[in-house]
Amino acid sequence: RRSWAEPYKIKMVEPVKMTTRKDREKAISEAGYNTFLLRSGDVYIDLLTDSGTSAMSDRQWAGMMLGDEAYAGSRNYYNLEDAVRQFYGYKYLVPTHQGRAAEHLISKIMISDGDVIPGNMYFTTTRLHQELAGGTFADVIIDEAHDPENEHPFKGNVDLQKLEDLIKKHGPDRMPYVSIATAVNMAGGQPISLENLQQVRELTAEYDIPIIHDMTRVAENAYFIKKKEPGYADKSVAAIVRQICDLTDGATMSAKKDALVNIGGFLAVNDREVFEEARNLVVVYEGLHTYGGLAGRDMEAMALGIEESVQEDHIRARIGQVQYLGDKLIGWGIPVVRPIGSHGVFLDARKILPHLSQDQFPAQTLAAELYLDAGVRAMERGVVSAGRNTETGEHNYPDLELVRLTIPRRVYTQAHMDVVAESVAEVFANREKISGLNMIYEPKYLRFFQARFERA
Ligand SMILES: CC1=C(O)/C(=C\N=C(/C)C(=O)O)C(COP(=O)(O)O)=CN1
């Protein structure tokens, strides 16, 4: 029995267009060699992101019919509140339309000008909202996380010495919270261990500094703890998720990932005052505090998605599919981030295109070439995503210059994974012929979403 065979069967299908190379040449040049600017109709296998792209279950679709669209006090809000309390343990809930909205609220409430927010590697929207609130992000992830080939099983871990040095340098008063992400996205979906999180908790507690948890992919992190951290093999993913959350003071959640919905997110905290401020602020930016920019039906689907996200068979199949693709590429000698992470396989564009400097945007180039080969859409996770240094205006040059093959949950089959692997192998075989790109349009914020390029 394939350990990762899916615990579900397909009831409805959504036909996708099979394009020709000629179609794709036209589409990618019109999209300025930016996969974010492609029409989904021109994409065969869409691995741009696992955000909002998962398939909902029949129970979630049924939940959409149970939307209580009252403006205030919707039944679905209380079902969502129950799910957050039961599965994550946080006391107070503020629903938002998606994750960055929760990041906006918590940053505005907890960060003051000149504050420093340590975190285990940056994430694009998280860091931007910290900066917009006047804070500066400081990376405290272990060095191994910046090395794509290092096989450390918990590359999401915090370097406690780096964190303590920062606390001593800036003082706890300049540190509104430590930002801890589970299944660290930009490192390649790399988990933090419970042991390390407990050590972070002990250290921050000494200085009374709260921990805010980016729990977007917490179930996947819990699965890695179950499989790799000594002492957890017999614990359920659900129990490990609770244990992780119980070591933190609050969380921002993009429910568009682990919680299996197409839109949704929330801020959840244990501190009553932070909650009251967030509940007040949410009506300014999102909507009344019992819907936060979501329809009742969305909150119902989210409550059900949270319950499904921690089911053993589901998470085993989800991670198993990612591992399947990763193992295939590793077997063919294609440089990818190791160990294989939570939500995708990350191609090492620097290693695949050593003849391109980061000023020629290797990851951006590789993502475009992959799309051209067979219509597989991936995402650039390199210097374009890293943006510019707010002081110098120079590019941030990250060690990790990656192309993310992000696997939506419960959407693609193993045959699709085989097509993706074969297409990556085809591009890899012709890598010497690939030339770089010039950026010809660069937006001010989160440039990777809308930047445009031309062939150098
Ligand atoms: C770890 C983490 C994310 O991965 C994240 C969004 N990620 C996207 C869109 C992605 O493609 O990875 C967000 C923002 O969530 P949002 O896309 O606004 O629902 C927060 N934290």
CATH topology of domain 58-309: Aspartate Aminotransferase; domain 2 (3.40.640)
Q: What are phi and psi of 439, to 5 degrees?
A: -85, 125
Q: What is the ipTM of this complex?
A: 0.99
Q: Are 207 and 172 in contact (CB under 8 A)?
A: yes
Catalytic annotation, pick one of 88, 123, 291, 453: 123
Q: Is 124 a catalytic residue?
A: yes
Catalytically annotated residue among 214, 249, 298, 348 = 214
In this prediction, residue 303 carries a pLDDT of 98
Ligand 1 neighbours (beta carbon < 6 A)? 49, 51, 98-100, 123, 125-126, 181, 185, 214, 216, 254, 256, 265
End-to-end CA distance of the chain: 49
Nearest CA to ligand 1 atom 11: 49
Q: What is the pLDDT of residue 2?
A: 62
DSSP annotation string for 152-220:
-TTTT-B-HHHHHHHHHHH-GGG---EEEESSBGGGTSBPPPHHHHHHHHHHHHHTT--EEEE-TTHHH
* Atom of ligand 1 lying closest to residue 217 CA: 1
Report the separation in Å between the CA atom of 1 and the middle of ligand 1, taken as the mean of its atom positions. 34
Provide the pLDDT for residue 238: 98
Distance 342 CA to ligand 1 centre (A): 14
| Rounded CA separation 91/348 (Å) | 41
123 is a catalytic site residue: yes
Whether 248 is a known active-site residue: answer no
Domain ranges in the chain with CATH number 3.90.1150.10: 21-50+312-455
- Catalytic (active site) residue 257: yes
Give the residue, by CA position, lying nearest to ligand 1 atom 13: 99
pLDDT for 17 equals 87
Contacts of 197 (CB under 8 A, 6+ apart): 180, 244, 247
Distance (Å, rounded) from C-alpha 192 to C-alpha 40?
34
448 is catalytic: yes
Q: How far is the CA of 123 from the centre of ligand 1 (A)?
A: 8
Does residue 87 carry a catalytic annotation?
no
> Model confidence over 316-335: pLDDT tens digits?
999 999 999 999 999 999 99
pLDDT of residue 3: 76
- Mutation choice for ligand 1 from 129, 130, 182, 254, CB with most ligand atoms inside 8 A: 254
Question: Quick check: is 266 catalytic?
Answer: no
- For residues 445 and 456, give the distance between their C-alpha atoms in angstroms, rounded to a whole number: 24
pLDDT in tens, 30-89: 999 999 999 999 999 999 999 999 999 999 999 999 999 999 999 999 999 999 999 999
CATH of 21-50+312-455, one of 3.40.50.150, 3.90.1150.10, 3.40.50.300, 3.30.420.10: 3.90.1150.10
Nearest CA to ligand 1 atom 8: 51
Q: How far is the CA of 446 from the centre of ligand 1 (A)?
A: 12
Beta pairing partners, 404:
346, 379
Q: Where in the chain is the domain with CATH 3.40.640.10?
A: 58-309
Distance separating alpha carbons of residues 326 and 339, to the nearest angstrom: 9
pLDDT at residue number 310: 98
**Rounded-to-integer distance, Cα 388 and Cα 444, Å:** 9
Low-confidence ranges of the chain (pLDDT < 50): none
Contacting residues for 190 by C-beta, under 8 A, at least 6 apart: 145, 154, 155, 156, 183, 184, 337, 339, 341, 342
Closest CA to 43 of 16, 15, 14, 22: 16
